[in-house]
Amino acid sequence: MKTMKNIKLLLVLLALAALPSLTYADHSWNGYHWARTANPFTLKLGNNLTSADWQSMLAQTSQDWNSPDTFGTTSPLLTAIVSGSSSKRRCPMVAGTTQVCNGAYGNNGWLGLASINITGGTHITQGLAKVNDTYFTKPTYNNPNEKLHVMCQEVAHTFGLDHQSTDGSSQDSCMDYFSNTGANAGSALSTKPNAHDFEELNLIYDAHLDSTTTVAAMNALAASASDVTNDPGSWGQLMSQSANGRSSTYEKFHPNGSQTITHVYWTIEAAANCPACDHRYDH
Amino acid sequence: MTINQDRCESVVCKGRGLGLAPSAFAVGVFFLVAAGSTAGGETLSLSNPPQQSQSHGGPVMDYVSLIDNLRTAGVSVEPEGEVEQPFFSIEGRMIKVSGEDVQVFQYIDAAAADAEAALVSPDGSAVGTSKIHWIGPPHFYKKGKLLVLYVGDNAELLKALEAALGRPFCCLLLP
CA separation, residue A219 to residues A42, A100, A251, B121 (Å): 11, 20, 14, 38
Per residue in A56-99, pLDDT (tens digit) is 999 999 999 999 999 999 999 999 999 998 766 678 999 999 99
Q: Return the residue in A99, A108, A128, A134 with the most chain B beta carbons within 10 A, the one to mutate for interface testing.
A: A108
pTM: 0.73
Q: Cα separation of B123 and A163, whole Å?
A: 11
Instruction: Indicate if the alpha-carbon torsion angle A156, A159, A164, A168 is positive or negative.
Output: positive
3-class SS at B20? coil
Q: What is the mean pLDDT of residues A167-192?
A: 96
If you average pLDDT over residues B160-164, what whole number do you get?
A: 96
Q: Return d(Cα B34, Cα A262) in angstroms, integer.
A: 68
- At residue B43, the pLDDT reads 36
Interface test with A, best of B127, B134, B135 (most A CBs within 10 A): B135
Would you call A159 an interface residue with chain B, using a CB distance cutoff of 8 Å?
no
| Other Cβ atoms closer than 10 A to B24 | 12
Which residues of chain B have a CB within 8 Å of the CB of A166?
A: 123, 125, 173-175
Given an 8 Å threshold on Cβ–Cβ distance, is A154 in contact with B131? yes
* B96 reaches A (C-beta below 8 A): no
Distance from CA of B175 to the nearest CA of A (A): 6
Read off φ and ψ for residue B106, nearest 5 degrees. -110, 115
Long-range contacts of A186-192 (CB under 8 A, 24+ apart): A186/A143, A186/A145, A187/A145, A188/A145, A190/A149, A191/A145, A191/A148, A191/A149, A191/A152, A192/A64, A192/A148, A192/A152
CA–chain centroid gap for B5, Å, is: 14
Looking at the partner chain, which of A29, A111, A167 has a beta carbon nearest the beta carbon of B133?
Answer: A111
Q: Answer yes or no: is pLDDT of B22 > 90.
A: no
Phi, psi of B124 (to 5 degrees): 75, 5
Q: Does A137 touch chain B (CB under 8 A)?
A: no
Q: Which among A210, A176, A180, A173 has a CA at the least distance from the CA of A195? A: A173
Residue B91, chain A, CB below 8 Å: the answer is no
User: Which residues of chain A are within 8 Å of residue B121 when distances are taken between CB atoms?
Assistant: none
Residue A143: in which H helix or E strand, if any?
none
Q: Quick check: B82 pLDDT over 80?
A: yes
How far apart (Å, rounded) are the C-alpha atoms in residues B60 and A222? Answer: 54
Mean pLDDT of B77-81: 96
d(CA B125, CA B136): 11
- pLDDT at residue A25 greater than cutoff 70: no
- Half-sphere CA count of B38, side-chain side, radius 13 A: 7
Give the mean model confidence (pLDDT) for residues B64-80.
95
Are B94 and B80 in contact by the 8 Å Cβ rule? The answer is yes
Closest CA relative to residue A193, chosen from A35, A73, A15: A73
Residue A218: its pLDDT value, please?
83
- Contacting residues of A for B149, CB less than 8 Å apart: 109
**Chosen from B102, B121, B133, B148 to mutate, greatest number of chain A CBs within 10 A:** B133
Strand partners, B3: B44
B134–A154: do the CB atoms touch at under 8 Å?
no
Contact between chains at B125 and A166 (C-beta distance less than 8 A): yes
Q: How many Cβ atoms from other residues are within 10 Å of residue B16's Cβ?
A: 12
The predicted model gives A216-244 an average pLDDT of 63
3-state secondary structure A144-185: HHHHHHHHHHHHHHCCCECCCCCCCCCCCCCCCCCCCCHHHC
Considering only CB atoms, B149 lies closest to which of A109, A112, A154, namely A109
Contact B130 A141 (CB under 8 A): no
CA angle, A142 as apex, A158 and B84 as ends, to 5°?
55
Q: How confident is the model at residue A139 (pLDDT cuts 50, 70, 90)?
A: very high
* Residue A126, H or E segment: strand A123-132
Residue B158 vs residues A10, B101, B153, B154: alpha-carbon distances, Å: 53, 12, 7, 6
> How much is the pLDDT for A21?
42
Closest-CA distance of chain B to residue A47, Å: 20
Quote the crossing angle between the two packed helices B155-165 and B63-72, to the nearest 10°. Answer: 120
Task: Tell me which of A166, A169, A181 to substitute to probe the interface with B (most B C-beta atoms closer than 10 Å).
Answer: A166
Distance CA A149, CA A129 (A): 13
B160 Cβ contact partners less than 8 Å away, ≥ 6 residues apart: B70, B73, B75, B97, B98
A93 in contact with B, Cβ within 8 Å:
no
Q: Which residues contact A267 (CB under 8 A, 6 or more apart)?
A: A246
Q: Are residues B129 and A157, on separate chains, in Cβ contact within 8 Å?
A: no
Mean pLDDT (whole number) for B26-45? 38
The pLDDT confidence band at residue A225, using thresholds 50, 70 and 90, is very low
How would DSSP label each residue in B58-107? SS--SHHHHHHHHHHTT--EEEEEEE--TTSSS-EEEEEETTEEEEEEE-
A281: Cα within 13 Å, side-chain hemisphere: 19
Contact between B149 and A112 using a beta-carbon 8 Å cutoff: no
Contact A110 B129 (CB under 8 A): no
Query: What percent of chain B stands above pLDDT 70?
Result: 65
pLDDT greater than 80 at residue B172 = no
Q: Mean pLDDT over residues A33-46, rounded?
A: 97
CA terminus-to-terminus distance, chain A: 73
Strand intervals (E) in A228-280: 237-241, 247-253, 259-265
Using the predicted structure, report yes or no on whether residue B47 has a pLDDT greater than 90.
no
Q: Please tell me if residue A146 touches chain B, with a CB cutoff of 8 Å.
A: no
Separation in Å, CA of B164 to nearest CA in chain A? 21
Give the SS3 label for residue B2: strand
Please state the ipTM of this predicted complex: 0.73
Between β-strands A41-47 and A97-103, what pairing exists: parallel, antiparallel or unpaired? parallel
- Please give the span between the terminal C-alpha atoms of chain B, in angstroms, as a whole number: 47
How many CB pairs below 8 Å do chains A and B form together?
69
